[in-house]
Amino acid sequence: MSVNTDFDLIIVGGGPGGYNAAERAGHAGLKTLLIEKETLGGVCLNRGCIPTKTLLAVAKHYHIARDSKEFGVTSENVSIDWSQAYKRKVKTVRALVSGVKTKMKKNGVTVAEGEAKFTAGNTVEVNGEKYAASKIMIATGSRPFIPPIPGADSGKVLTSREILDLKEIPETLAVIGGGVIGMEFASMFAEVGSKVTVIEMLPEIVPSLDREVASLLRERLSKKIDFKLNTKVEKIEDNKILFSSSEGNGSIEADVILMSVGRRPSVENMGFEDIGLDFSPKGIVTDEKMRTNLPGVWAVGDCTGKSLLAHSAYRMGEVAVADMLGRNERMRYNAIPGVIYTNPEAAGAGITEQQAEAEGLDVIIEKLPMQYSGRYLAEYGQEKGFGKVIVDKKTRALLGVHLIGGTCSEIIWGASALIEMEMRVGDVREVIFPHPTVSEIIRETLWEVPAEYENY
């Protein structure tokens, strides 16, 4: 079999890490081949970030239309046409996939559809044809994790992939797992009328969040969601979940069961063992420039197991391409922003309070209600929310910012930038924030740092 050597770079995986890297590489003049086995955009665009946010927008509009009496707006006979919501989701995804295809064409990237397998460190086979290049990028993403619970692999249990194809709103929904993905689906379906139960093994939901943020998030969501914490699922029989907890055994039935206990890197059946790639079920081993142990081979995104977020994958791909081009960039993980798009939203960047405690850091922690922001009070009234900052006591550098309340998702990037730039309390106080905006909560909270800790 002949080998096609026309390309400078071969990228396996067309998700955020892969297609963004392909765009950057093509723009820089590298002749690039992008291989995707399903649809360009990967999980995020087709079965994750974008379709879920489209449906969460449906839930938000329904909430506003139904519950705006406080603002002097009254709507009668508010209802949801789920078939129309579904069509809008599909239309949105198709538009963005088309946009990715346009970007590939614009930057001279060749796209091959098919499942790739490595036959050598720099050689990939797809659709019966072999391709070789001096530069290879692996961006194979991740998949939902199915734990070894009896009945979990039955057709009755859905993952985040299948639940997006529901053609109607379930009357009852049970979510196994209180992490980010599980809570977004729980919030969405509870908002549009489903009776939702969340089962979580840990004592609190979304362990990646700051502890206080997670607690308040659960408190606010508890108005519409039944939480069973410290609860272990023992078995699933058809539409029944059997569980155990410190309070005893029990069971619940639901029309739909969502398994959402995390994701795992997709590293199987790719030929990685044959080419000597250093990897495990936890992901492909990379350094700060996204290099693997094999010369000329980089890995980015979820398949590395390091930060399973689309925006992390974007940056990883850019760092890898920069390294290919001889530029000195590195992947940093200390201030990656995280967002949970529930109602209310929650977001954070940098270390959490529990991380500071675990690492024995000497820090100052200040917190203010979101109502200190005039815009928040005007738009969200007395809905509970707060901003929290974590500051190094000695250097006065900003180490963490955590928020819960409306528009958090649009603010947190700024906090991430402040942390990345190692700005001190005094530095941020000199920044002019637009008024009135919810983002001012960051500046206001930093002004709460006691005078004896100030350092200009």
Q: Name the average pLDDT for the chain.
A: 95
Name the helix (H) or strand (E) containing 122.
none
pLDDT of residue 154: 82
Residue 433: CB atoms within 10 Å:
16
Residue that is last in its domain, among 289, 324, 359: 324
Q: Is residue 42's pLDDT more than 60? A: yes
* 42 and 121 share one domain: yes
Q: Is residue 112 part of a domain?
A: yes
Q: Is residue 150 part of a domain?
A: no
* 191 and 281 share one domain: no
- Cα–Cα–Cα angle for 263, 91, 259, nearest 5°? 25
Give tens-digit pLDDT for 83-129.
999 999 999 999 999 999 999 999 999 999 999 999 988 999 999 99
Cis peptide bond N-terminal to 436, omega within 30: yes
Quote the tokens at residue 124: 């990939």
Sheet holding 240-245, edge to edge: 231-237, 240-245, 248-253
- As a whole number, mean pLDDT of residues 143-147 equals 93
Q: CATH number of the domain at 426, please.
A: 3.30.390.30
Give the DSSP per-residue string, 23-88: HHHHHTT--EEEEESS-TTHHHHHHSHHHHHHHHHHHHHHHHHHS-GGGT---SS----HHHHHHH
* 320 and 377 share one domain: no
Q: Is residue 237 part of a domain?
A: yes
pLDDT of residue 452: 63
Let me know: does 68 contact 380? Beta carbons within 8 Å: no
Let me know: does 25 contact 9? Beta carbons within 8 Å: yes
* 200 and 282 share one domain: no
Residue type, 232: K
Residue type, 327: R
- Cα–Cα–Cα angle for 147, 149, 153, nearest 5°? 75
Q: Is residue 382's pLDDT more than 80? A: yes
Q: Is residue 456 part of a domain?
A: no
Structural domain count of the chain: 3
Q: Is residue 365's pLDDT more than 90? A: yes
Residue that is last in its domain, among 240, 261, 282: 261
Residue 16: CB atoms within 10 Å:
30
pLDDT of residue 455: 53
pLDDT of residue 2: 87
- As a whole number, mean pLDDT of residues 270-280 equals 93
* 90 and 39 share one domain: yes
Kindly state the percentage of the chain with pLDDT values over 90. 92
Let me know: does 322 contact 25? Beta carbons within 8 Å: no
- As a whole number, mean pLDDT of residues 355-380 equals 96
Query: How far apart, in whole angstroms, are the C-alpha atoms of residue 18 and residue 370?
Result: 38
* 136 and 273 share one domain: yes
Query: How far apart, in whole angstroms, are the C-alpha atoms of residue 205 and residue 340?
Result: 12
Q: Is residue 312 part of a domain?
A: yes
Query: How far apart, in whole angstroms, are the C-alpha atoms of residue 193 and residue 383?
Result: 21
pLDDT of residue 246: 85
Q: Is residue 333 part of a domain?
A: no
Query: Cα–Cα distances in Å, from 154 out to 167, 172, 175, 199, 236?
Result: 20, 18, 15, 18, 9
Residue 281: CB atoms within 10 Å:
9
Q: Is 408 helix (H, G, I), strand (E, B) or coil?
A: helix
For residue 418, what is the DSSP state?
H
* 127 and 270 share one domain: yes
Is 27 designated active site?
Answer: no
What lies within 8 Å, CB to CB, of 318 at 6+ separation is 20, 21, 24, 329
Closest CA to 36 of 132, 133, 137, 107: 137
Burial of 25 per CB tally in 10 Å (0-12, 13-18, 19+)? buried
Q: Is residue 332 part of a domain?
A: no
- As a whole number, mean pLDDT of residues 270-276 equals 91
Give tens-digit pLDDT for 55-84.
999 999 999 999 888 899 998 899 999 999
Query: How far apart, in whole angstroms, are the C-alpha atoms of residue 281 and residue 304?
Result: 10
pLDDT of residue 156: 83
Let me know: does 143 contact 305? Beta carbons within 8 Å: no
Give tens-digit pLDDT for 180-221.
999 999 999 999 999 999 999 999 999 999 999 999 999 999
Give tens-digit pLDDT for 389-447.
999 999 999 999 999 998 999 999 999 999 999 999 999 999 999 999 999 999 999 99
CB crowding 346-363: b at 16 or more within 10 Å, else e: bbbbbbbbebbeeeeeeb
* 230 and 312 share one domain: no
| Helical pair 49-66 and 180-191, crossing angle rounded to 10 deg | 40
* 352 and 304 share one domain: no
Query: Cα–Cα distances in Å, from 358 out to 28, 211, 228, 355, 395?
Result: 43, 13, 26, 5, 19
pLDDT of residue 453: 54
Q: CATH number of the domain at 222, please.
A: 3.50.50.60
Query: How far apart, in whole angstroms, are the C-alpha atoms of residue 155 and residue 239?
Result: 10
Domain extent, residue 233, equals 157-261
Q: Is residue 420 part of a domain?
A: yes
pLDDT of residue 1: 66
DSSP E strands, 115-194: 116-120, 123-126, 129-132, 135-138, 142-144, 157-158, 172-176
Q: Is the dihedral of CA 239, 244, 245, 247 positive or negative?
A: positive
Let me know: does 337 contact 327? Beta carbons within 8 Å: no
* 271 and 243 share one domain: no
* 317 and 387 share one domain: no
- As a whole number, mean pLDDT of residues 152-157 equals 86
Residue that is last in its domain, among 297, 324, 351: 324
Beta bridge partners of 111: 34
Helix, strand, coil share of the chain (percent; to 5): 35, 25, 40
141 in the Ramachandran plot: left (φ > 0), alpha (ψ -120 to 50) or beta? left
pLDDT of residue 456: 47
What is the pTM (predicted TM-score) of this model? 0.94
* 316 and 385 share one domain: no
Residue 378: CB atoms within 10 Å:
11
